[in-house]
Chains A and B, each alone.
Chain A
Amino acid sequence: AAGVIQSPRHLIKEKRETATLKCYPIPRHDTVYWYQQGPGQDPQFLISFYEKMQSDKGSIPDRFSAQQFSDYHSELNMSSLELGDSALYFCASSPPGLTTGANVLTFGAGSRLTVL
């Protein structure tokens, strides 16, 4: 079965640089979520998109922005990178409608960002 695809898997950047992470959801999933997981931390919700519109916003820094495109893939743009941005960034997707009574998120393998 197709899964959530994230790219790149690993990324190394210098402070103050810019990084872009991409997420390709499971086919026919219409909602994408971004999470940030620092070392030894639980995943923290950043932002989500439903049908290409922002649907919810969490603890996403103003230096970060994201969008969902017409093919439902999403990109997370991070500017003026700081050392503290080093983390594992997860994308997840969920299908349309509450078919099972709960919104089940399927996660990608993550993109590991290291800021030097």
Chain B
Amino acid sequence: GAGVSQSPRYKVAKRGQDVALRCDPISGHVSLFWYQQALGQGPEFLTYFQNEAQLDKSGLPSDRFFAERPEGSVSTLKIQRTQQEDSAVYLCASSLAGGGPGETQYFGPGTRLLVL
């Protein structure tokens, strides 16, 4: 496809369950970003990959959050033992090269996670 795709679009989880969210970046894009967007707020940075290397994970809120991009293309964000405060929209973005300032990030539609 032409854009960033994410799956599932919606996920309902019971508190304590593990979830996995998938991101397919634009083909050939080197950099991949994950953001978390709470209701009524702007997106907040979680983590950043350049190819398969996770260069920045400073935004991950706890050690229950884990992201990987093993082959430098598709990425998965995993949340273990989900809590109600994890309910949010999880956005993925990709950019063509190194992800530095001046390089546009293109966003996917997001995965809306609801933890009951």
Q: Do A and B bind each other?
A: no
